[in-house]
Amino acid sequence: MSVQSKMGSYLDDFSGYTVATYATYLIAGAFFLFPVLWVLSMSLRQPGEVLSYPVQFLPQQLTFQPYERVINGSAMLTWIFNSLKIAVLEVVGIVFVTVPAAYAFSRFDFRGKKYVLFGVLLFQMISPVVIVIPMYNMMAQLNLLDSHLGLILLYIGLQVPFSIWLLKSYFDTIPKGLDEAARVDGCTRLQTLIYVLLPSMAPGIAVVAIFNFVFAWAEFVMAFTILGESDLYTVSIGLFSFQGQYSTDWRVIAAASVIAMLPLLIMFVGLQRYFIKGLVEGAVKG
C-alpha cells in the first residue's frame, strides 16, 4: 500500500465523530485535572502570591515551606495511617460480607427476593447526612464513639447495598453450569464459591475494593461525627482542622491536600489495570 493510500485510509478513519469524541475527552480531562494542578501550584507559592492580582497559574518562586509545616507541625502522618487502617479494614469487611450475600442473591431463588433487593437499593439511595444523628445515638449506646472500630462498622453498613448490587451483577454473568460441574465433582457450596467462582470474580471484587477504599479515605460527615480526639482523626478531618477561626493559610491546606492525594494516586497506578479490566468486563457482560 502506498503512502498516499495509507494517509487516505487514516483520514477516512479520523472522522468528525472521532474528533468530537477526543475533544470531549480533552475537555473532561481538563475539567477534572485543572483543580488538582491548581492546588499543587498553590502549595508551592510564597505567602504573598496566594491572593495576588492578576492571578497566575504558575508560582513565581517555588517554596516547600507549606509541606514542612504540614509534616513537622501537624499529625498528618498519623492521620494518613488512621485513614489507611480504616480503609483497608473496611474493604476487607465489605468483601467478606457482600461476596456471600451477592452469591446468594444471584444463585438462590426464595420468596420475596425481588423485594429484598429493592429494599437494599432503596437503602443505598438514603444520604448518610440524613441518618447521621440516629447513627451517632446508636454508636453511643454501643460505646463505639471515638473508636476506629465503630467507624469501620459504620462504613461497612453504609456500603453494603452498593457492593451487593455490583457483585451480584458479576455473579449473574458467570454460567450456572460451573456451579453444577463443581457440585458433580463433590464440591460444597462454599468450596464452589471459593475455588470456582471467586477467580472469575476477581475484576469485580477489585472494582468494589477500590470504590470502597476511596469512599473510606474521603468520607467526612460520619468520621467528623464519630471521632472526637485528634489522634484518631482521618485525613478528611485533619484537612478540615487546618482551617483557622480568624485566618487560614491556604498554602498549608493545599500542601496537606496534595499529601492526602498521594496514597490514592499510588493505589490507582498500582491497580489501574485491574480497575479498568473490572469496569470494562462489567460493562461488556452487562
Domain co-membership, 77 together with 171: yes
If phi > 0 it is left, if psi is from -120 to 50 it is alpha, else beta; for residue 167 that is: alpha
Name which of 62-71, 164-173, 238-247 the model is least confident about. Answer: 238-247
Domain co-membership, 250 together with 208: yes
> Which domain range does residue 15 map to?
3-63
Domain co-membership, 75 together with 200: yes
Domain co-membership, 20 together with 111: no
Question: Which of 42, 63, 84 marks a domain boundary?
Answer: 63
C-alpha torsion sign, points 215, 221, 222, 225: positive
Contact indicator for 107, 172 with CB cutoff of 8 Å: no
For residue 136, how far is the Cα from the chain centroid? 24
Domain co-membership, 121 together with 206: yes
Domain co-membership, 133 together with 201: yes
CATH number at residue 280: 1.10.3720.10
pLDDT band at 284 (very low <50, low <70, confident <90, very high): very low
Domain co-membership, 245 together with 159: yes
Q: Find, among 165, 271, 286, the residue nearest to 210 by Cα.
A: 271
pLDDT digits (tens, 9 = 90+) for 28-85: 888 888 888 888 888 888 877 766 656 677 777 788 888 888 888 778 889 999 999 9
Distance CA 164, CA 95 (A): 9
The pTM (predicted TM-score) of the whole model is 0.81
Query: Mean pLDDT across the chain, nearest whole number?
Result: 81
Tell me: pLDDT of 2 over 60: no
- How many angstroms separate the Cα of 40 from the Cα of each of 58, 177, 214, 252, 266? 10, 52, 20, 11, 17
Per-residue pLDDT, averaged over 130-151, amounts to: 89
Domain co-membership, 23 together with 112: no
pLDDT digits (tens, 9 = 90+) for 179-228: 888 888 888 888 888 888 888 888 888 888 888 998 999 899 899 989 98
Calculate the dihedral angle through the C-alpha atoms of 205, 175, 121, 137, rounding to the nearest 10 degrees.
-50
Kind and range of the H or E element at 253?
Answer: helix 250-270
SS3 content of the chain, % helix, strand, coil (to 5): 75, 0, 25
Domain co-membership, 182 together with 42: no
Better pLDDT: 11 or 248: 248
Name which of 21-35, 39-53, 81-95, 135-149 the model is least confident about. Answer: 39-53
Distance CA 286, CA 173 (A): 8
What are 15-20's contacts with CB under 8 Å, separation 24+? none
pLDDT of residue 61: 79
Question: Which of 23, 41, 63 marks a domain boundary?
Answer: 63
Question: Which of 22, 41, 63 marks a domain boundary?
Answer: 63
Domain co-membership, 89 together with 45: no
Calculate the dihedral angle through the C-alpha atoms of 70, 71, 75, 78, rounding to the nearest 10 degrees.
130
Domain co-membership, 73 together with 59: no
Domain count across the chain:
2
Percent of the chain whose predicted confidence (pLDDT) is above 70: 85
Domain co-membership, 57 together with 89: no
Q: Find, among 40, 32, 35, the residue nearest to 59 by Cα.
A: 40
